[in-house]
Amino acid sequence: MSQATESETTEGTGRIESVSGPVVKAVDLDARMNDVVYVGDEGLMGEVIEIEGDVTTIQVYEETSGVAPQEPVENTGEPLTVDLGPGMLNAIYDGVQRPLDVLEEKMGSAFLDRGVDAPGIDLEKKWEFSPEVEAGDTVEAGDVVGIVPETVTIDHKVMVPPEHEGGVVESVEAGEFTVEEPVVTLENGEEIAMRQEWPVREKRPTVEKRTPRTPLVSGQRILDGLFPIAKGGTAAIPGPFGSGKTVTQHSLAKFADADIVIYVGCGERGNEMTEVIEDFPELEDPKTGNSLMARTSLIANTSNMPVAARESCVYTGITIAEYYRDMGYDVALMADSTSRWAEAMREISSRLEEMPGEEGYPAYLAARLAEFYERAGYFENINGTEGSVSAIGAVSPPGGDFSEPVTQNTLRIVKTFWALDADLAERRHFPAINWNESYSLYQDQLDPWFQENVAEDWPERRQWAVDTLDEEGELQEIVQLVGKDALPEDQQLTLEVARYLREGYLQQNAFIEVDMYCPPEETYAILSAIQTFNDEAFDALDAGVPIEDIIDVDAAPKLNRIATREDWEPYVEELETEITEQIRSLY
């Protein structure tokens, strides 16, 4: 969180009137809505969430045990902001952008203490700044004035802050600087440093939101193949516990072809965040071959960390995402889970004794969710570049019931829906994404890209797969009643083909190295191979070959092994020939 508050003059000091969990009421505090305040003798960080007469209500981002009435409350006069500048990648923050590694060092303990503050970006570290402007150039808000190599993968573009009026450059310095030292001086006397601040609850300005037309390739067959999301798109992953939300989110964070990934662990498990912290530095970014952390920023506010900071962590995440978007990057933001965020709102709302809406959630739930997802998109930035923020939110519906308010309000906004299914998870069909319930509204606008970059008949093949799976769904209902053998032969064959689609195409093992990432070309190849089997098999059936013989050809089970082959290209080619020959030899 922002340290600039130190230099601000204190606007007014009040005192605590009452304490109840994370909600503290103060009197005599001269504060505006959403100002950040320091509460009590320990200086716990909080935010103003209600003002009524002389009484100011504050949500506190830390534990409040032991805090008593009469203790002071100090106003910083500033809303909750994040520090923006080089050093945010390869970092891990809590919900109010305090770096967790720095906190560990400062507290000297593995447990999170209270009242310890730390700046979001290292103020001491020097960065190599190379100017992109010269003396005499005119710069405006958003313009790039220089470049800092932030990580091996990412060049950090130092920009004129958005609210800045700009002007003519008087002098510009190259060399090593800290984030607070001025690197560009304007003729009007204004100085520009690498670091800027932005209030988290406000979106950063842009020129225009555009229709996204490139896919965010995820390397997950069912996503790329059937339900793609666009760069700048929004998606929801709802599912009951144990259905694989987090594994899916992790796979996306690892393999999505975004430039930057912001991973927000909102109210989830501590061990899961540790897994990310331990795994990501060792994993390779499939795009550049560098360490994954070089493009990743983590925000971890686990379920046992203070609830108010959980409420703010998605905003911290999306503000950082927008900042990198302004540089012209494609950013993907994963929020796991938005339900915990909604519950944090509910918890605070109920402590405020607000009139509850559906299931106790505050009436503004829908508005907050919409506001958040609307910050995603494919944008023209104010400096003329184009960048995108894709937002993918996991939803954890109680009891796996999708009719609950968080899922429903999310579905009204997002355009991609990946429905996780407990039944599939139970039979270890992963990713447990239900192909009948899921949808993507981006298909039409993304098809041209797939046609151009992968294969001309991409949409037709996808449609064939969807149709076959649909048909299987209907046939399964009959099978449940009469058994498989009572079906006519062509329907039995459809079931067999659908089984290969499920096992060889839709299933993907996130824990096997060769299978965890599947490029679109391979996705396409597997589907084509299964379709080849389908076409040949039906031809044979028409020619009078008994179904048992067709199903029993040796080559067919190999369809399920393509995904785990390093050498899938020659393997598929060989397999298609093999299948064709073996089936044709039957008649």
Partner 1 sequence: MKEYQTITEVSGPLVYAEVDEPIGYDEIVEIETPSGDTKRGQVLESEDGTVAIQVFEGTTGIDRNASVRFLGETLKMPVTEDLLGRVMDGSGNPIDGGPEIVPDERRDIVGAAINPYSREYPEEFIQTGVSAIDGMNTLVRGQKLPIFSGSGLPHSDLALQIARQATVPEEDASEGEDAEFAVIFGAMGITQEEANEFMEDFERTGALERSVVFMNLADDPAVERTVTPRLALTTAEYLAFDKGYHVLVVLTDMTNYCEALREIGAAREEVPGRRGYPGYMYTDLAQLYERAGRLKDRGGSVTQIPILTMPGDDDTHPIPDLTGYITEGQIMMDRPLHSQGIEPPVNVLPSLSRLMDDGIGEGLTRADHADVSDQMYAAYAEGEDLRDLVNIVGREALSERDNKYLDFADAFEERFVQQGFETNRTIDETVELGWDLLSTLPRTELNRVDEELIEEHYREDVSAGEGETEEVSAD
Q: Concatenate the DSSP letters of all residues of 405-467 into one string.
A: HHHHHHHTT-SEE--B-HHHHHTT-SS-B-TTT-EETTHHHHHHHHHHHT-TTHHHHHHHHHH
Which segment (12-20, 30-38, 214-222, 312-320) binds partner 1 by CB under 8 A?
12-20
Closer CB to partner 1, residue 2 or residue 349? 349
Token output for 94: 């809590």
Q: At its nearest, how many Å lie between partner 1 and the CB of residue 482?
A: 7
Amino acid code (one letter) for 14: G
Closer CB to partner 1, residue 456 or residue 485? 485
x-or-dash pattern for partner 1, window 333-352, by CB under 8 A?
A: -------x--x--xx--x--
Which segment (64-72, 141-149, 223-231, 440-448) binds partner 1 by CB under 8 A?
64-72
Q: Report helix, strand or coil for 208.
A: strand
Q: What is the 3-state secondary structure (H, E, C) of 494-534?
A: HHHHHHHHHHHHHCCCCCCHHHHCCCHHHHHHHHHHHHHHH
Contacts of 457 (CB under 8 A, 6+ apart): none
Q: Which of residues 371-410 bind partner 1 (CB under 8 A)?
A: 396, 398-401
Q: Report helix, strand or coil for 480.
A: helix
Which segment (186-194, 420-428, 467-475, 536-544) binds partner 1 by CB under 8 A?
420-428
Residue 28 found at the interface with partner 1 (CB under 8 A): no
Outline where 226-266 has alpha helix (H): 245-255
Q: At its nearest, how many Å lie between partner 1 and the CB of residue 150?
A: 20
Question: Binder to partner 1 among 175, 356, 384, 473 (CB under 8 A)?
Answer: 356
Q: Is 222 left (phi over 0), alpha (psi -120 to 50) or beta?
A: alpha
Question: Binder to partner 1 among 8, 10, 54, 104 (CB under 8 A)?
Answer: 104
Q: Which of residues 268-287 bind partner 1 (CB under 8 A)?
A: 269-271, 273-275, 277-278
Closer CB to partner 1, residue 435 or residue 500? 500
Question: Binder to partner 1 among 37, 39, 67, 200 (CB under 8 A)?
Answer: 67
Q: At its nearest, how many Å lie between partner 1 and the CB of residue 303?
A: 3
Phi and psi, residue 372, nearest 5°: -65, -55
Which segment (156-164, 220-228, 366-374, 476-484) binds partner 1 by CB under 8 A?
476-484
Closest CA to 38 of 93, 90, 107, 114: 114
Q: Where are the beta strands (DSSP E) in 150-258?
A: 155-159, 167-172, 175-177, 182-186, 191-193, 196-199, 208-210, 234-238
Q: At its nearest, how many Å lie between partner 1 and the CB of residue 101?
A: 5
Q: At its nearest, how many Å lie between partner 1 and the CB of residue 496?
A: 12
Which segment (15-23, 130-138, 327-335, 465-473) binds partner 1 by CB under 8 A?
15-23
Question: Binder to partner 1 among 10, 32, 68, 384 (CB under 8 A)?
Answer: 68
Q: Which of residues 285-324 bind partner 1 (CB under 8 A)?
A: 300, 302-305, 307
Contacts of 353 (CB under 8 A, 6+ apart): none
Closer CB to partner 1, residue 100 or residue 222? 100
Q: At its nearest, how many Å lie between partner 1 and the CB of residue 282?
A: 12
Token output for 155: 């060049």
Closer CB to partner 1, residue 28 or residue 457? 28
Closest CA to 229 of 241, 245, 244, 218: 218
Answer yes or no: are the C-beta atoms of 127 and 176 closer than 8 Å. Answer: yes
Cis ω for the linkage preceding 405 (within 30 of 0): no
Which segment (157-165, 191-199, 266-274, 370-378) binds partner 1 by CB under 8 A?
266-274
Closer CB to partner 1, residue 217 or residue 562? 562
x-or-dash pattern for partner 1, window 137-156, by CB under 8 A?
A: --------------------
Closest CA to 270 of 246, 248, 235: 246
Q: Which of residues 502-561 bind partner 1 (CB under 8 A)?
A: 503, 511, 554, 557, 560-561
How many residues comprise the chain? Answer: 587
Q: At its nearest, how many Å lie between partner 1 and the CB of residue 103?
A: 6
Q: Where are the beta strands (DSSP E) in 284-328?
A: 296-301
Q: Which residue has the tokens 């190849």?
A: 525
Answer yes or no: are the C-beta atoms of 360 and 350 closer than 8 Å. Answer: yes
Closer CB to partner 1, residue 30 or residue 63? 63
Residue 71 found at the interface with partner 1 (CB under 8 A): yes
Which segment (128-136, 200-208, 250-258, 356-364) binds partner 1 by CB under 8 A?
356-364
Residue 478 found at the interface with partner 1 (CB under 8 A): no
Between CA 437 and CA 412 the distance in angstroms is 15
Which segment (10-18, 181-189, 203-211, 229-237) binds partner 1 by CB under 8 A?
10-18
Q: Which of residues 171-230 bind partner 1 (CB under 8 A)?
A: none
